[in-house]
Amino acid sequence: MRGAYIPPDPAPAPGRPPPSPAQALVTAKVAPPRPLVWVGSTTSGSQLWSSPVACGAGMSMWGELYQVAQAVGAWPVLTGEVPVPASWRLDTARRVADVPHLPDAEALLAAALERAPEPPAGFRTRLEPAAEPIVEADLAAGYLTLVTDAQNWELPICVGFDGVGGWAAVEHAAILRHWSQRYKADVVALTSSSVGLRIGRPPTSHDAAYAAAQEIYAYCPDVVEHGLGSLWALATTVAVSPAWSLRWSPPARS
């Protein structure tokens, strides 16, 4: 969009940058974001390359880069208003190969659902998916970061996405892997307080949508408690849509 605000270029990390993935993107016939700035490394060995994006342009840029993500050995992710969110604890990041095993996602979600306050069921209505996949991180200008040596659900482990929503990085990864298998979920955004997913195979029946809503609520209760208000509202809108935008609200101040 002409005249759209674009945030300033990211500040480069100190030191000599590693080889840029930009040439690999060009070879794969995808125009790299410009500028593509090296903004840091993780203890997992991943390199972080970031670029500013205008409001509403992030999903489209993500979609272009996603097509070649595996080929270039990196994964694009929207990060919100900063290139490296505070929720990315880079000094605790690990390689997925160094994680002995992931927790059982269904057991994690079932336990979380038991602990959570029982939400209102609401009213069963017709399934009304959103027309376009949109996540919260694309609703304002921000940044898109390429994470090398990481793919999809591995991202929480590879960038140390730990503590958000009370989940450890390996628990986030286990749940996202479960959803990637069940719903063909791809990680689009990891910000300071949210996870954004593109869903390639959303539920198509009321029963399946309600089951998905229970898992979403177990993972991120705020989507109901500070948003939609009931499980059926979640089931018949978000759960059947091509994108899930899950945000944890900050704790209320006493």
* Contacts made by residues 39-42, CB under 8 angstroms, sequence distance 24+: 39/10, 39/11, 39/12, 39/13, 39/83, 39/84, 39/145, 40/13, 40/84, 40/90, 41/13, 41/90, 42/88, 42/90, 42/91, 42/93, 42/158, 42/159, 42/160
Residues 6 or more apart in contact with residue 15 via CB below 8 angstroms: none
What is the β-pairing status of strands 243-247 and 194-199? antiparallel
* Number of domains composing the chain: 1
253: confidence class by pLDDT, cuts 50, 70, 90: very low
Please check whether residue 244 is in contact with residue 238, taking contact to mean a CB–CB distance below 8 angstroms. yes
pTM beyond 0.85: the answer is yes
Kindly give the pairing relationship between strand 37-41 and strand 47-53.
antiparallel
Q: Which two tokens stand for residue 173?
A: 């990864």
Q: Where are the beta strands (DSSP E) in 12-141?
A: 37-41, 47-53, 74-80
Strand partners, 245: 196
Q: Give 127-161 as a DSSP string.
A: ----SS---GGGSS-EEEEEEET--GGGHHHHHTB
C-alpha distance across the termini of the chain, in Å: 42
Amino acid at 135: V
In a domain, 11, yes or no: no
Per the domain annotation, does 7 fall within a domain? no
Other residues' Cβ atoms within 10 Å of the Cβ of residue 123 = 9
Q: pLDDT tens for residues 109-145?
A: 999 999 999 999 999 999 999 988 999 999 999 999 9
| pLDDT surpassing 80 at residue 180 | yes
Q: What is the pLDDT of residues 194-245, one digit of tens each?
A: 999 999 999 999 999 999 999 999 999 999 998 899 999 999 999 999 999 9
Q: Does the residue 118 lie in any domain?
A: yes
Per-residue pLDDT tens digits for 17-64: 998 888 888 887 777 677 899 999 999 999 999 999 999 999 999 998
When the pLDDT of each residue in the chain is averaged and rounded to a whole number, the result is: 92
Whether pLDDT at 1 is above 60: no
Asked whether residue 13 is domain-assigned, the answer is no
DSSP annotation of 96 reads G
Give the pair of three-digit tokens for residue 217: 């609520």
What single-letter amino acid sits at 223? V
CA atoms within 13 A on the CB side of 254: 0
Range 99-108, long-range pairs (CB < 8 A, 24+ positions): 99/157, 99/170, 99/173, 102/170, 102/173, 102/174, 102/177, 103/170, 103/171, 103/174, 104/174, 105/174, 105/175, 105/177, 105/178, 106/178, 108/171, 108/174, 108/175
| 3 domain-assigned | no
Residue 9 lies in a domain: no
Instruction: Supply the range of the domain harboring residue 134.
Output: 22-247
Residue 8 lies in a domain: no
**254, part of any domain:** no
